[in-house]
Structure 1
Amino acid sequence: MSDQVVQIVNPDGESPVLLVCEHASHAIPDDLNGLGLTPQEAISHVAWDPGAMATANLLSQALDARLIASRISRLVYDANRPPEAPDAIPVRSERTHIAGNADLSAAARSERVTRYYTPFRDALAAQVAARPAPVIVTIHSFTPVYNGKERHVEIGVLHDADTRLADAMLAEAARFTDLQVERNAPYGPEDGVTHTLLEHAIRWGHPNVMLEIRNDLIADAQGQARIAGILKPWLTAALSALKVAA
């Protein structure tokens, strides 16, 4: 089951960086009947992070880093949420109602956790444990307009209590890009988005950061290559400032 839920790219990568893409896929298992979504809704940004996995793949190659990704839509189970979080299995995402998640019994929620969250958590934990000094970097994308409000930030550098890598990246940002870079935007820890960082990095003292890329910047191969080409030297410089070799 785990290989149906989790994808590990470049499993022999030697970089200390472990890339994570929790919202890599919009796949919904057949037995969930599409969660009651229209075909358009099922491939929209509410179901996954468009462009994030492609960009993470390029960064994995550039850094020789392992990449751990979820193969399941975040509407089935959001791999970046703990089981107790209400939005781990969301009933609404932005303006989209997810009928297949409404009125789930405790047993049905528990089955989703067992089938989709636990294998991802365990696979990522195993990869973290296998590295002597891992650095956790999660890759996400966000929509340029959310609930009718335009977002001007282009790359968000997110952190929770451990700010080391985020601080280093923000200090180096102007050397590598003229894009609009902001701290903890368009989301922050108060939005419950730092679960992976808390679970797999902060509790063990590993450097970590969550990168949010506006999805219009990575909508095609050219944009994905451009952003990966920015992130590789930028992240490398930040890690060097922390005396970590990428």
Structure 2
Amino acid sequence: NPDGRSSAVLLCDHASNAVPRSLPEIAVQHEALREHTGWDIGAARLSRRLSALLDAPLVLSGYSRLVIDCNRPLGSPSSIPVVSCGVPIPGNAITAEEAAARADECFWPYHRAVTALLDARRDRRQPTAILSVHSFTPSMPGQERPWQAAILYGRDRRLAAPFIEALRREPGLCVGDNEPYRVSEGGDYGIPVHGEARGLPCVLLEIRQDGLLSAEGVEAWAQRLAAIYREIEASGLPGAGGG
């Protein structure tokens, strides 16, 4: 939906657990690919539903984060992980030249698509804000995660603050404010590069994966997040650009 009328642009960095045919050694890690280590479970379905509700353009990554993580700076240890959550990933102990070739195949096409979309909206003077959609596992070794949703941000809180406020008004919802993760230039790529570097309002939305396992759960979260964004949009988006 590249011509969506919403000011929102949706990104889904961990949408897929696919592996290129050129990397069969990674494909043998079936369990790791199916689990949260391989992708953000439910994030693609939630993103697509949000795109429809908001009439917003959406860009989805095409490959598993075990192949290359589209939300990590190239060259960082978690960009092409040799080990993920204690599981060795065969085929990821590669040279710098091999890593660059993998980025050309699996990382840059996604980010070039985002850049082209944002450039076109800038040229049309169309107001734009970045919503990056993710999901997180309910538990990690030694850590139970009580939050049903987490709102993450770096330097820019223009979207994060109203999202946190709106979600915390809902009875029974536990909402993380930059937890269990936080956005940083050293650890993230999408928000710092596509949002902050352009001066666009931007936020990373994390939904706990057990809330996205059913169609009903996806629909409930999509309706909730879409309603909040419409309220924010109606109140004005400082710095979103436009004519």
TM-score, normalization by structure 2: 0.90
- The residue aligned with 2:128 is 134
Give the residue type in structure 2 aligned to 1:84.
G
**Aligned partner of 2:67 among 69, 76, 84:** 76
d(CA) in 1 for partners of 2:14, 2:203 = 16
Helix, strand or coil: the match of 1:201? helix
- The residue aligned with 2:115 is 125
Farther-moved stretch of structure 1 (47-56 vs 139-148) = 139-148
**Aligned pairs, how many?**
235
- The residue aligned with 2:192 is 198
- The residue aligned with 1:3 is none
Change (3 A) 1:177 1:139: farther
Matched, 1:185 2:179: yes
d(CA) in 1 for partners of 2:104, 2:180 = 30
Matches within 5 A, 1:230-241: 230-241=224-235
d(CA) in 1 for partners of 2:185, 2:40 = 17
- Show CA shifts across 1:151-194 (max 9, x none): 11110000000111101212222345642112111101259553
Helix, strand or coil: the match of 2:105? helix
Give the residue type in structure 2 aligned to 1:118.
W
d(CA) in 1 for partners of 2:209, 2:159 = 23
Matched, 1:112 2:112: no
Identity over the aligned pairs, expressed in percent?
36
d(CA) in 1 for partners of 2:174, 2:186 = 23
Matched, 1:161 2:155: yes
Residue pair 1:134, 1:207 contacting (<8 A) in 2 also: yes
| Cα drift, residue 115 of structure 1 | 1.1
**Aligned partner of 2:49 among 51, 58, 71:** 58
| Cα drift, residue 38 of structure 1 | 3.1
Residue pair 1:136, 1:207 contacting (<8 A) in 2 also: yes
Matched, 1:42 2:42: no
Helix, strand or coil: the match of 1:210? strand
Give the residue type in structure 2 aligned to 1:99.
P
Change (3 A) 1:26 1:119: same
Residue pair 2:47, 2:58 contacting (<8 A) in 1 also: yes
d(CA) in 2 for partners of 1:73, 1:184 = 24
Question: CA RMSD for the aligned pairs?
Answer: 1.8
- Show CA shifts across 1:118-157 (max 9, x none): 1111110111112122100000001001124211111000
d(CA) in 1 for partners of 2:211, 2:197 = 33
- The residue aligned with 2:90 is 99
Segments of 5+ residues of structure 1 without an aligned counterpart are: 1-9
d(CA) in 1 for partners of 2:27, 2:141 = 21
Higher helix fraction (1 or 2): 1
Give the residue type in structure 1 aligned to 2:197.
R
- The residue aligned with 1:7 is none
